[in-house]
Structure 1
Amino acid sequence: MKDEKKKAPSSSEKLGLNLAIVGGGQTCKSFLELLREEPFPNLNIAVLGVCDIDPQAEGLRMAREMGIYTTSDFQDLCRLRNLDALVELTNSSDALIELARLKPEGVGILDHNISRFLSLLGQTQKSLRNAEHQAAFEKGVSEFLIQQANERIVVVTPEFKILEANGQYLKAVAKSREEVVGAHCYEITHGLTAPCASVYPELGCPLVETLRTNESAHVIHEHPSQDGQATYCDMVTYPLKDRSKEIVGIIEVWRDITRELTSRWERRVKEIKADMGKLIQEDRMISLGKLVASSVHEINNPIQGLLTFSRLMEKTLEKGQLGPVDLEEFRTYLPLMTSELERCGNIISGLLSFSRYSGVEYKSMDLNEVLKQVLTLSQHKMEIQNIRLCVTLAPEPLIVEGDMNQLQQCFLNIIFNAIEAMPQGGELSLASDWDTGFDRALVTVRDTGCGISEGNLDHIFDPFFTTKQEGEGIGLGLSIVHGIVKAHKGTIKVESKVGEGTAFTLSFPGP
């Protein structure tokens, strides 16, 4: 049997291109009208589906009339079989980014400019009938497409040599066309003497990926700009194939997304700060609950004393006329009653002050005063648990810039942790000082509790890490402490031995 010769493709055979459109407005309608006229004799463009959230959008209605699949969810388009590319006609950069992120592997993306380009191409092609004019036209169109694009475009051989580059690319690399054409892309872009993938395997080269898969590839790269600042480029590569489907070249399209990433990063930072503020306030309310529970005992004692004095005075008054002895007893009772009432008032005032949230406000303050307020709130809890308190505060004010509420919460969380580490009693030491060498305020909280194992010491600031029993805590207290300290440009160091206790040392810069 003779070997059958492989049939060469006929010049009359059409090249197929299956598209799906995101955005069913006026531009989509114009695009569909253009394709209905079949303006490209050698190209069969089929629209497999159209997506728009507005069911009455002009292009979406026309697509339904033409029997084309329509949907309101663009992810439905990604599931279409034999899809070659998604066409973004919403003119939204966010939509384009989302499409690039969610599109299936091997499916390309064309933005809204393709509609105008194909329209121009179709109209002009009608007037070019002979082969000589057609060849000249195609060459001119390709040059126009490369040179007029806002993105940086470079055409590279499979051997990484640059065949063509547009003005935007030349501007980005600060070189002339003569310097670029014929040079290796890795020399021009990264200043390397070998392909990027061999020098930095973790970098991820879309060109190598396209050569490997015969399909489009996508990656985000960091590149230095002319002013030395880092820029971030969204890079997409498209294979150029001959009639036998072999890759003869690769088009690289670069889009500078530095501003977009910076904007998104700034938004994310704001969201994180807002979430941190909410978390601190929620933790503050949990701390308030603990303080109220222990304050009940503290307030009950003076109330019982006041009740006793008032009953004694009531019985004395029932006798009738007061004698000198009675008056002397009243004089003794009244200062004691006043003192006990002031004690109750101080406890309530402290709780009310702690419960108020006035928003984050950084100002100069004496760290010693913050510590005194925290001790006023927590001292009675220590007394109930039979914990001795040793306080050694710096004789001079420790002035720092910070938010009063957050710093209170920070120290209160550490003291609560120390108290919980000494369920059978012990000793809690609180000391403050000024480090003149580094111009920083230092605060040390030391307990004689159970201590922290070496294996857990590296994880105590991780969110939701806890060694407590279920129901006793969710592991956010020290994570919040760490966040507050970092927000105040401070540092925190922990030393601990199992069975001996733990010491937290915090430092904060001066104003």
Structure 2
Amino acid sequence: MRKKMQSIRNKVLFFGLLMTIIPLALISVYYIQNMADYVGETGEEMQKMRLEHLATDIRSEIRQVMDQLDVLASLERPAEMKGPFYEVLSSQDAIDTLVVIDRDGVLLSQVARHTLNHADTGDTWPVQADSGVTPDAGEPVISDVLVNEYGQPYMQMIAETGTDGLRIGATVQLQKLIGNVSSYQLDDEAVIYLEDPSNQVIAHQDYSKLWQPSTEETAQGIEIRTEIDEVQWELVMEQPRREALSPVFDMMRRGGFTATVMILFGSVISVFAGLYFVKPIETLQQGMRRMKTGYWPEAMPVERQDEFGELTRAFNEMNETIQEKEQRLRQEKERLDIVVNSMDAGLAVVRKDYSIAWMNPKLEGWIGERREVPCFQLFHDQDDACYACPLRDEVTYDKMDEIMTRKDRSGAERIYRHRVFPLNYTLEQDEEALIVMEDITEEKQMEEKIIQTDKLSALGLMASSFAHEVNNPLASVQIYAEDLSDRLTEDEAELLESGDMAHYLQVIRKNIDRCKTITGNLLNFSRKENWEERDIRVRQVVEESLVLMNHSLNKQGVDVTVTEEEGLPAIRGDALKLSQVFVNFIQNAIDAMAGKTAPALSIRLYQEGQDLLVDVADNGSGIRPEDLDKLFDPFFTSKPTGKGTGLGLSVCYGIIKQMNGVLEVESEPGEGAVFRVRLPVPQKETNPEHGEV
């Protein structure tokens, strides 16, 4: 079912039906909802106006009674005047009794509609309005709704006269005052009632609900309330929502039928239009399926002149182009296979789990076809990945480049350059890197010969220095030995007792040790040996290099300064090769400072980030800008003929590169030169079996 829904035909049909049904349905719902809101708001406003009109009538009746009491209260001797009281009774049907009482409620005068109008001395009028409602200051006090002995509701109003504490009281019949509430005509199911401040119904169109608490359920209906402020009553009207919205329901039925007809009509049109547009796409899909199976279809006929016709023409062109490119790819693959298989370098593709995905025949001939073995075991015979391998998550190097030694199948030791490059675009997700291995045994042997040649050249330059350095201590040995021999023939006992013999022997031993150190350093420097990597202290290598060049420095009067930053770590490398680099720098500095009145050589050792730096600076003649780019080229020299071979700095560059370092130079003509060696400090976690670097 899901696969059928993913077809273009079903998607187009579904989309057409969806775009037909949803807009029409949304428009219909929006229209009906707005009409319902409008009708509801209009009906509610009309009912509110009717309710407010009825409330205004009730307020008017109450206000008239209050105004009549205010008139009676303004009389000077109300207890002696009966006429105004009778006039009020005749004009206000709601008033049943009018009385004049003192502050204690003693009845002084009474005018009643249904009883005798006289008052016995000492009679009291039951005052109920003291706990009632006082609308505003200076207006009559109104009691709560009361019921007399006949079951008729009434209330009291009392107004202050301001004369000797006399008060005017009135008994008001509610039936006369609010009877129009019960008789008010509304719609069939609408009701209207009046509540006192305690939510008790005091007027209702349904007499069975009088004097009952208000419990009308209005959650499904419309409820409108308005207050009668004079007595704090609330006039309420309720109407069922279905009655208020009956016109809306009729409109919804008619609108729903119309919308259904429109949706059906639009759906039919959408289905036919969808099938018409999908047909050429299905034809192209069939052609694509044939291409997927490896069968190249013939050109499809172009039957339409619209965008689908253009799509068919584009498909035919694409089909022809793909066939041409496939043929070219076959040719390129054939050429690439020839190139890769004939290369003198070994190639391998490594997966993320370090297994070999592919290797060329050259690499198979070197190490054998063992693709199931991880690359670090295959190349290094170790149990973990190489410390600088780009496949390791914690490594941030862009590539890996190292020198390693292995024995070939005949047992001969060979030197290989081992490089690893990350792959960014691969067909398989687990193919991560390309390994390139080159047999550089002959190249390394040639480099060693060049290095040895440079050593011999340096030894030739140091020959006179060596003779002088050895001659001085030998001359001292000779002098002390002859003097000691002469004194032994004279008085051997005195020589022993004075300690002169021990002193002479100590001086002779000291000078012999100095000769031994000088010859040892020279032999060590000239010794030919393979690359040997170990932990070395750069300061010690610098001091040994200065000892070798000591005579030349003293002869030219060079002021040598060596400064070292505290706490410098050891580095990995070959001390003898590094010493050869410093000897070359010192010799070049001596040559550059020839003729200087105050030659100075400064050597500074410091750390910068993860690198240890050595700056060898002189105040010689400097280097011309045009020579800086050629400085490390083999056989390039700016010295006169016979002064140099041009191999020194080239050899230095190769040695520093073998130690994974960088050789830099800064110079201005006439301002001297600074040769800077930048060597990497080993990480705390290193792999001890990673081959030669």
Q: TM-score, with normalisation over the residues of structure 1?
A: 0.50
Higher Cα Rg, which structure: 2
Q: TM-score, with normalisation over the residues of structure 2?
A: 0.37
